[in-house]
Structure 1
Amino acid sequence: MRKKIGLLGLIIGLLAVGLFIFFRLGSSESALVNKFQEKYNEIVLAVYYDDFDGNGTPEAFILTGNKDEQGNWLNGKVWFVNKDQVTLVKDNFSSFPFIEAQIIEINKVKILGLETSAASDGLPSTYWYGVGGNKPVKMFECENGQFTQENGQLSQENGQFILRYNAHDHYSDNRGNSWKDYYFYCIEVDEPRKIKLQEYGAIPITLEQFLAFEGAQEVLFKLKSLGENMIITHILYRENKIININYILMNENGNGYEQDYVTVNYDDQKVSNLVWGEGGKYEAALFPGIATYPVFKNPQ
């Protein structure tokens, strides 16, 4: 009887090992690429293979399309492949030139980070895709914006990610490019994403509320030194200790204006570190659907 039980245990163990090897081989990088190529006649440009959702079984994101003689990416597509499926994540990509994606790890969660660059003015766009519930998950998409990097890797400052965003808002008639920094952070959530990207949104505060901070009068004095045609339009207060002040400079004939801003840091008592803008105006949030907003606290 003991021999039968031992033999049965050995058989079960061998079956378990066999199933493990089967699933691992079926999820190898070459197996996933072959699975994709058997189904679609696409030119594979890059493969990003990893255990994105941490379930012990790797997956792959595959980039396809064409490269021209200049190295530009045309007719681009992003695919997700695991042992169960081949799924088109996004199509109609182009980038001038083709830019390699990165596997980004945030709080032990792995994400495919992809950037594309436009042909006309080289403005980058950013796309983040993850895996959750055995499916690809869109985590973030932004036209005309790029997260700052250091040595080719996503940089993180004080727990936040900085998105450098381009807009046509330098002048009242929507002429002129401007670049501004917007601020994001990640929180841990339940499946399917495990982490969620959120934006530090802003609330408008009054000039009186701003002037309650030490050092605010000096900031106002410097703004007024720009001349009588300077008008403050918005004072935007963010939870990450940043205040953006939008203002306009009216044309002499009064039929148009230039938009600009200054940025200061604040604490419980004062504002400091005045930085002059590069043109354009700040929005309360780029992505209101994922933004969080503070409650104003009077300086002590």
Structure 2
Amino acid sequence: MMKKKLLNKVSATVLAGLMLCSITGCGEEIDAETAETSQEELTLQDVTEDATGAATSDDAGDTATSAGQESVDDPYISKALSVAGNVPMDVQESLVDDFDGDGDKEAFVFLGGEPDEIIGSNGSLWFVSDDSCEQVLEQKNIAVNEKGSVFEPMTVENVKIVMLTEAYISEAYSKIFFVKNGKCEKSRISGTGYLYTDEKIDDFLVSHPAYDMCVEYEIGADESEKMATGHTWKNYYAYFDKDKQDFCYYGAHSITEDELASICGIDLASEIRNEGFQVDDIYRVDNGVVIVNYSEETQNGNTVSIEYHNASFYEKTKQFLDFGIDGDKQWQKSDQGGIYSF
């Protein structure tokens, strides 16, 4: 079976940072050696075509020029520049293709400032065709990959998709576009989180950021006075819908503790309680991932602290998903921190 590396170097680096933020949580620090190891593991990650619904990675744009070259060499960049006016031009790159298969070529053009090693190039994205030129993404920090490209194109179910990564120090968001009937359309999940693949899970994962690992408050405080801390990145799950020709999130529904035990083969709720935690909401996602929210409340004088955790069990493999968290039991290693909600 042919394998594709869907995560390029910049995507792996961004994802490593996000996962480390999730792992540390609540103000804990992680050393540089651990960070370097995690990044390397993600950079080398392979996924199979079957695991992503026939998704494949594509080469970067057909044409790319720097500010030092004559932009007139690329008619798509020239057209975008003429419409954009006064914009940063340190990075000028176009991705040209017949994206919707109608026989006419279109282009996505990125115009940005000088790239930063961490957060990439601050710039805008333009969609250019024979009869139009429109800005489809305003000024954002866009990651630049090891090929020097901001574009991460891929094909899923014969649909050509253009993806860019809006990058920050500890957060990243996938901006996802495709072309239909000669018009640029934005995916319904674009900007909701960071889209990636993992060989342990079918379909796609989308990491969502939140500050929800810990809540601290004084007894009698209003909800508005409760302080949430701890940056988490929790995986939600998506698939490519052939009829909608777009990504969609899997739905989820609540299940009982008895149903949870039947799925996992153990009385997981009792095990969690035996470790001193409270069992909160339990969900079964439609892709077969079962998620248990649990928490621990402590009190010091008038100050109450609640720390939130979760466990993820995958029905297909009959195993807990391992996110590298310390713990004597497998369900403890599947904790991403924070509260899952659907």
Question: Counterparts of 1:175 and 1:262 in 2: how far apart (Å)?
Answer: 20
Question: Counterparts of 2:170 and 2:273 in 1: how far apart (Å)?
Answer: 36
Aligned counterpart in structure 1 of residue 207 of structure 2, from 161, 164, 168: 164
1:265 aligns with 2:309: no
The amino acid of 1:136's aligned partner reads C
The residue number in structure 2 matching 1:198 is 248
5+ long unaligned stretches in structure 1: 1-28, 150-154, 285-300
Query: Is the contact between residue 204 and residue 237 of structure 2 (CA under 8 Å) also seen in structure 1?
Result: yes
1:132-211 correspondence to structure 2 within 5 Å: 132-139=180-187, 140-143=189-192, 145-148=193-196, 159-172=202-215, 173-189=227-243, 195-211=245-261
Question: Counterparts of 1:48 and 1:80 in 2: how far apart (Å)?
Answer: 10
The residue number in structure 2 matching 1:92 is 139
Q: Deviations over 1:177-225 (max 9, x none)?
A: 1122111101112xxxx612111121111223323446231x2333123
Aligned counterpart in structure 2 of residue 104 of structure 1, from 139, 148, 154: 154
The amino acid of 1:148's aligned partner reads Y
Query: Is the contact between residue 242 and residue 266 of structure 1 (CA under 8 Å) also seen in structure 2?
Result: yes
SS in 1 for 2:336: coil
- Structure number with greater Rg is 1
Q: CA deviation at 1:256?
A: 2.5
The residue number in structure 2 matching 1:38 is 82
CA-based RMSD of the aligned residues comes to 2.8
Question: Counterparts of 1:208 and 1:100 in 2: how far apart (Å)?
Answer: 48
Query: Is the contact between residue 63 and residue 76 of structure 1 (CA under 8 Å) also seen in structure 2?
Result: yes
Aligned length: 240
Query: Is the contact between residue 99 and residue 178 of structure 2 (CA under 8 Å) also seen in structure 1?
Result: yes
5+ long unaligned stretches in structure 2: 1-72, 216-226, 321-329
The amino acid of 1:186's aligned partner reads F
Cα 1:71–1:132 change in 2 (3 A) is: same
Query: Is the contact between residue 76 and residue 109 of structure 2 (CA under 8 Å) also seen in structure 1?
Result: no
Question: Counterparts of 1:198 and 1:263 in 2: how far apart (Å)?
Answer: 20
1:123 aligns with 2:167: no
Q: CA deviation at 1:69?
A: 6.8
Question: Counterparts of 1:167 and 1:198 in 2: how far apart (Å)?
Answer: 21
Q: CA deviation at 1:97?
A: 6.7
SS in 2 for 1:170: strand
1:283 aligns with 2:341: yes
The amino acid of 2:175's aligned partner reads Y
Query: Is the contact between residue 113 and residue 122 of structure 2 (CA under 8 Å) also seen in structure 1?
Result: yes
SS in 2 for 1:77: strand
SS in 1 for 2:272: helix
Question: Counterparts of 1:127 and 1:181 in 2: how far apart (Å)?
Answer: 17
Question: Counterparts of 1:97 and 1:186 in 2: how far apart (Å)?
Answer: 25
The residue number in structure 1 matching 2:126 is 79
Q: Deviations over 1:93-117 (max 9, x none)?
A: 1247787221111111111100021
Q: CA deviation at 1:157?
A: 6.4
Identical-pair percentage: 22
Question: Counterparts of 2:144 and 2:106 in 1: how far apart (Å)?
Answer: 26
Query: Is the contact between residue 53 and residue 132 of structure 1 (CA under 8 Å) also seen in structure 2?
Result: yes
Query: Is the contact between residue 248 and residue 260 of structure 1 (CA under 8 Å) also seen in structure 2?
Result: yes
TM-score of the superposition, structure 2-length normalised?
0.63
With CA pairs under 8 Å and 6+ residues apart, which has the higher RCO, 1 or 2? 2
